[in-house]
Amino acid sequence: MLNKDTFVHFLAETGALRFGDFITKSGRETPYFINTGEFRTGESLSKLASFYADAFVEHFKGKAENLFGPAYKGIPLCAATAMKLSDLHHLNLSFTYNRKEAKDHGEGGTLVGYTYREKTNVVIIEDVITAGTSVNETMQLLKGLNTVNVIGLLISVDRRERLDSGKSALQTVQENYGIETRSIIDINDIISFLAKEENRQKIDAPKDILDRVQHYRSKWGVV
């Protein structure tokens, strides 16, 4: 069973979740920032993949046979998650990732790993999504393959933040492509973690961080 408090603590401990003063790509002032590029050791990637594997089992077990990892951050994520699904859950899924540019020698093409020789149900593994641009690019790539059936998207953290459309990035992806979108945690789980004083002390969080995150959520969040 996925322990969300444990995952929030893990993100903060590795520096992937930071609290302070930041500016998002959209220009919003935010009191928290998520950067999964901080997972840069074998130990941290292994733990991260374990959480992804647990979330996959909770939401997609029995529904998909393949993990797709968009270049670049999705590549180690999908490979490591496939390993953890095998090691921890005895599920032997194939995995696939893409090159940014097609290879013009050897086997050629843009796909590496399993190349969808037969009809395959696929879950996309991503780190975080902001506006959904990378997911749109991935869907355009996979929609061109008649043996691929994308059934879901799994990310680490859903900020549940309102875009110009009034909907969140995950809501938009789900509506545009008719796929199941899931996250290991969302902003509400981060707030629940911060609501406990012992948790704030564990990660040495700023004293006013709970109020600031709640305020940001109320201003920019979706239901």
Active site residues: 103, 105
Residue 76 has φ and ψ, to the nearest 5°, of: -65, -30
The residue type of 112 is: V
Rounded Cα–Cα distance for residues 168 and 130 (Å):
9
List residues bridging with 148 in a β-sheet.
120
Q: If we measure between CA atoms, which residue out of 35, 31, 20 comes closest to residue 219?
A: 31
Rounded Cα–Cα distance for residues 35 and 13 (Å):
12
Cα torsion 8, 13, 15, 16 to 10°: value is -30
Report residue 160 as tokens.
Answer: 């549940």
Residues 6+ apart with CB under 8 A from 80: 45, 46, 48, 49, 52
Q: Which residue has the tokens 């999705």?
A: 74
What's the 3-state SS for 142-180? HHCCCCEEEEEEEEEEECCECCCCCCCHHHHHHHHHCCE
